[in-house]
Amino acid sequence: MASARATKKVIDHPAGGPRAPVDVLPADLPAEVEGAVRAAGSLPLTKLTRVKLGAEARRELERELTAAGLERTAKVVRVPLGAQLGALVRGGGRVPLKDLARRVKGGAKKEIDAALDRLVRAGEARVVVRTQVEVLVGAADRALSAADLAALVAAHAALGKVLKKVTAKGRARTLLRDDLGALLGPLDHAAHAPPPAEHAPQPAGEIVAEALRRLEDPALKLVRIPDLVRALAGRVALADVHRALDAAHDAGEIELRPESGGEFLSPDDARLCPPGPRGTVLSHALSRGGRGKP
């Protein structure tokens, strides 16, 4: 995790430099600001830079930041809320819902709730109840389906009716173990259902394509390749992911893009990205909507 100092990084004037507004956006400034926003999750518009930018230079900076996948609101530039939520549960993370307002940066509770609902509807995360606490978990966590829950509710109601009769006033009553087993059958099935049966191995290209669709930002159509590789860890080898990405790029289905701020791509992330031209690494995949090359 980036240090507190790194999350507060802003761009200062050169020593002794002029304090007048900068009318031409410095070439390296967007990448530096993007890195600071990604490290912090969100930064106020007033604290993006210490360099005073002219109106046109500031508009250009904000255009480049949104093109890089960040969101600009009335007060902040932030990593999209859905991406922040997804990162919290990626790799098996589990977060109580009451902690989301503290863990997700730059969004009001209403916005975070809406982003959470979109993530759940898309099947990329689930809300589960653990004892009395609502918890956000990843889609890979084994949880009950809607059908399992319906069967559980019906079994609970049936058992309640029988127990009400058994424990009524009057003579002592009990249950046959076989009858109890039948009543508890749906509960036992839900608790001990085997994992889905494995089918014939799915081609790596199909797995990568499905993961790209699942991880794609719905507005920007972008996927971070380090996130993609980590999501497929244990299913598709790194070299096979890269080959599938290259094939999709050549077919015009996606566009592989280099990191705009390479100095802020961590060494661990860089190792997961395919190489690009002139020593760059290709860290993002832009969906072309499955159109392919003409």
pLDDT of residue 6: 42
pLDDT of residue 263: 53
Output Rg (C-alpha) for the chain, integer angstroms.
Answer: 25
pLDDT of residue 70: 92
pLDDT of residue 136: 94
pLDDT of residue 199: 56
pLDDT of residue 90: 82
Answer yes or no: are the C-beta atoms of 272 and 266 closer than 8 Å: no
Output the six-digit token pair for 257: 């893009």
| Residue 15: φ, ψ to 5° | -55, 125
Angle, helices 177-192/146-166, rounded to nearest 10 degrees: 160
Answer yes or no: are the C-beta atoms of 106 and 72 closer than 8 Å: no
Taking the C-alpha atoms of 255, 62, 41 and 136 in order, what is their torsion angle to the nearest 10 degrees? -60
Residues with Cβ < 8 Å from 170, sequence gap 6 or more?
Answer: none
Tell how far CA 174 is from the center of its chain.
Answer: 51
| Residue 286: φ, ψ to 5° | -100, 125
Written as tens digits, the pLDDT of the chain (294 aa) is: 444 444 444 445 445 555 677 888 888 898 999 999 999 999 999 999 988 888 899 999 999 999 989 999 999 999 999 999 998 988 788 999 999 999 999 999 999 999 999 999 988 899 999 888 999 998 888 888 888 888 888 888 999 999 999 999 999 999 998 888 888 887 777 777 766 655 567 888 999 998 898 888 877 888 989 889 888 887 888 899 999 999 999 999 999 998 765 456 788 888 889 988 887 889 999 988 654 444
pLDDT of residue 25: 87
Q: Output the pTM of the full model.
A: 0.55
Cα separation, 69 vs 71, whole angstroms: 7
Answer yes or no: are the C-beta atoms of 137 and 125 closer than 8 Å: yes
Answer yes or no: are the C-beta atoms of 53 and 21 closer than 8 Å: yes
Residues with Cβ < 8 Å from 119, sequence gap 6 or more?
Answer: 82, 85, 86, 125
DSSP string, 15-44: TT---SPBSS--TTHHHHHHHHHHHHSEEE
221: left (phi over 0), alpha (psi -120 to 50) or beta: left
